[in-house]
Amino acid sequence: MKVAAVVGQDLTVEYLTKHILAVMRDQSTNVRLAVVENLGELNTVVSLDHISKSLLPTIIDLASDRQWRVRMAILEQTPKLATILSPKTFTTELLATVMRWLCDPVYSVRVAATENLANLSVAMGTSWAIDNIIPHLQELSKNSNYLYRMTALMGVVSMANVLDEKACAEYLMPLPRSLVQDSVANVRFNVAKTLKSISSRVSRRTLQHEIIPILQKLAQRDSDQDVGASSPCVFVCALSPPLIALRLIPVINEYVE
């Protein structure tokens, strides 16, 4: 990659690109990782958008690499790629790949993929995130695999960090609300955790009229002991001090009874 800075744009495009592509397919995981992690240096010489037709197919292949560390390395580069490539190119060529990581068989990759959603939203803008990320999370929340439904909830927490109050209420709240009666206790448990996490990112009205009633329902009626026992604690954490006296005592009294 450092050679590109010496020879300049024209020679890089004409001669070096094919060698870079060859090295990106090297049998050694460490070699493939090194190339991916240094793509930024190549961009200082020639726009990756200019050679995207050559590089992107290889990047997409590496996104499904047999080694999860390579998949993770590509994942970590996507916010940078989002700023380098045109919005149209990124959305058309890489968005589907980004969303596939949410269903990766390795838990660490799935977690990183949800955290990456916030970074991409910053790079691409709120409107882009609402149009392109939220629909995928909504679809994921309906997946038959409960692990992926939990991943969708993690995505909500990540997105809440970059969306404003109105967007959180309009686009994020429907997802945990739809999973309140999920058949898997661990999903319902994570609904409570998700609501606690995003409670500071929504308006007081949303907190009082949407989040608190859901937590009340989980605390009072959930058949699973862990979900029912955790919800009052989450409920307390979600409340601001003035609301605790107003809303907490009836819930705890009914829960104890």
Which domains does the chain possess? 1-99 (1.25.10.10), 161-167+174-257 (1.25.10.10)
Question: Taking a C-beta distance cutoff of 8 angstroms, is the pair 153, 175 a contact?
Answer: yes
The pTM (predicted TM-score) of the whole model is 0.78
pLDDT in tens, 173-215: 999 999 999 999 899 989 988 998 898 899 989 988 898 888 8
**CB environment 193-202: b (16+ within 10 A), e (fewer):** bbbbbbbebb
Phi, psi of 240 (to 5 degrees): -80, 155
Which range is most confident: 118-127, 213-222, 234-243? 118-127
Three-point CA angle 53, 57, 61, nearest 5°: 165
pLDDT at position 221 over 70: no
Cβ neighbours of residue 65 closer than 8 Å, sequence gap 6 or more: 29, 32, 71, 74
pLDDT band with cut points at 50, 70 and 90 for residue 232: very low
pLDDT at position 255 over 70: no
In this prediction, residues 244-251 reach a mean pLDDT of 45
Question: Taking a C-beta distance cutoff of 8 angstroms, is the pair 248, 239 a contact?
Answer: yes
pLDDT at position 83 over 70: yes
pLDDT band with cut points at 50, 70 and 90 for residue 9: low
